[in-house]
Chains A and B, each alone.
Chain A
């Protein structure tokens, strides 16, 4: 079970026999030894971990080792050891109680070799698998629950479903920090701003943060369970509500995955309209973030202007597509509605109004050293960390990770499109802001080009009947990074299993690194420069 050398990892993966129907990339069944070999190789930098998720009898991981295509590695879980002498870490102090109730359920829980043991980015993912399915990661480094706060009334809701009395949600063992003069600052889950809930535990020495530990899962809504067995239309509506700010990107990824599984492509007009919506979403979110980052450095002027720009984009999106956030507009097969007759004109007018004024605001940022004093060298993330975590979006591109799903895993309408992916190496708040500034400009250009020459034709391709279980996977570039959708469709067209992975999974842990040795007062600035999703992460 040695790691496979980086140079031959892709070739080694390609040596497996693909299983079932899985498109556009392949899926391989491996044994426990091979699974661990993959984990070790990832740990040594042979490839990127894209996702790690479970189902009733298996665990899957999506891996990318360029130049090869991404692939999915699957392992059937082994039966869990039930003896009291089991070396497995206990689920929590009362694990084992209520085990009787499981016997009628039929679905058991298994175990699999830990990936996080060799490749730390997998740690939270496998904690989530254990919380949802009860599959135990063997020899895992962290045995604490992640999404399960002891409030569901049952363990392993997608696995054995063992009933269990609710416990105090505050009962969570944060990592201990030792040293002189340290104090703790607990923040959340209800935050001071109008933002999503999560808990941040700061250990500070005076003003300086010695350690930040996050606790998430507060907005866990059981999405994986809701999607299991859902009809396609219902599933699409749920997917559009994974994370409101990325509703277009997730609907886009989900639809591409469905289309891949069914072996179809959206018609050209639908593909371009999808691109328009995805870039409008990116522009609106980036504008909001640029303003909010400056506001967290107490520079309200940029925030005020960016707020107006964002409002203009949302109003134009509403006019063009009938919804300010463009929810439920991208559906499997194409788009749910055409662009309104005067929609293109409205969008172009909004962009024409914003573009020159945005340049003025950027010039103001460049000419204000007191603002840059707050953003430059604040919240640095090292290049090797973003590489190891395969962090996408502005978090990755501000620290030298040159990846953009639109270019590197190109999908329509980005296929064959040439555009510049901004890349910075400073890894600080300033660099993450500048990635956004560059992307706003590049997205405005794309939207203008597309709207100038919209292909005509149908808006949706009919979905064929699947002749059996079919699997699809897709990755789109959301405003905060790559959004992954994997699914298996049943022959009747319903969703047998679907998993969505937000870019935040690989960005949240880096926020803990970014704030280290910064002052507590700079946390809002760092946090906003990441702008990770809570809902998209907690699912």
Chain B
């Protein structure tokens, strides 16, 4: 193990970036997110993922955000085990009737302020499962959704891009709230 650790110490990082002409997009996203995230919630946004009926494809790609290549935690975003610790619910769908109550209860258990991101073509619409007796609908038919990230499944880079957009939106709301309060 020592040899391996030593080798890793001297190896190039597996993480995408620092800036590289080809991969500038990811790095740019990362920088923007760090600045905005800090303004909003110190420097962290905690995510709770909820599979409300997905085929598991979206989960595989959401999982990839945690690997050393995308390393989502460097942007101050992290996944929590409980909705009670979360600022963001990342929900995949279509929401099945059998998961509807569980999703509603998870939403209720998440403290305010909270944001909901619907992930994947099924979470945003119903995808190929449209019209089934077993499907309650897209995520926004069950709980209020702030952002949609489409794709079947969305790539990890799309998910990161989407989370930036969320921070943008959340920051705007936050500022609107502040200006309303000061009036």
Q: What is the interface of chain A, defined by CB distance below 8 A to chain B?
A: 147, 149, 151-154, 157, 166, 169, 189-190, 192-197, 217-222, 225-226, 234, 237-238, 241-245, 247, 288, 301, 304, 307-308, 310-311, 314, 324-325, 327, 360, 364, 367-368, 533-535, 538
Contacts and interface: CB of A to CB of B under 8 A. Distances in A.
The listed residue with most A CB atoms (<10 A of its CB), out of B67, B135, B155, is: B67
A194 B59 contact: yes
A157 B98 CA distance: 14
A522 to B, nearest CB: 18
Given A241-B127, A324-B155, A327-B152, A226 B56 contact: no
A71 B50 CA distance: 40
A237 B68 CA distance: 32
B132 to A, nearest CB: 4
Interface string B147-183: 0000011010000000000000000000000000000
Nearest to A285: B60
A409 B64 CA distance: 34
Contact of B56 (A152, A157, A234, A535): A535
28 contacts: A151-B98, A151-B100, A152-B133, A153-B97, A154-B133, A157-B133, A157-B134, A166-B97, A194-B62, A194-B63, A196-B51, A197-B99, A217-B98, A218-B102, A220-B134, A222-B135, A234-B128, A241-B122, A241-B152, A244-B56, A301-B1, A301-B5, A308-B14, A311-B64, A314-B64, A325-B153, A327-B57, A535-B55
A169 B108 CA distance: 17
A194 B68 CA distance: 17
A278 B131 CA distance: 30
Contacts of A225: 132-134
B69 interface: yes
A369 to B, nearest CB: 11
A153 B136 CA distance: 11
Nearest to B3: A360
Main secondary structure of the interface of A (DSSP, over half): loop
Contacts of B102: 169, 189-190, 197, 218
B85 to A, nearest CB: 11
A301 B101 CA distance: 38
Nearest to A169: B101
A169 B98 contact: yes
Contact of A193 (B81, B98, B134, B155): B81
Given A304-B68, A314-B64, A189 B56 contact: no
B49 interface: yes
A153 B134 CA distance: 9
Nearest to A291: B67
Contacts of A147: 98
B126 to A, nearest CB: 9
Nearest to A237: B128
Contacts of A535: 54-56
A533 B55 CA distance: 9
Given A151-B98, A152-B97, A325-B153, A221 B56 contact: no
Contacts of A307: 64, 66-69
Nearest to A250: B55
B53 interface: yes
A324 B99 contact: no
Contact of A244 (B59, B67, B82, B133): B59
A189 B1 contact: no
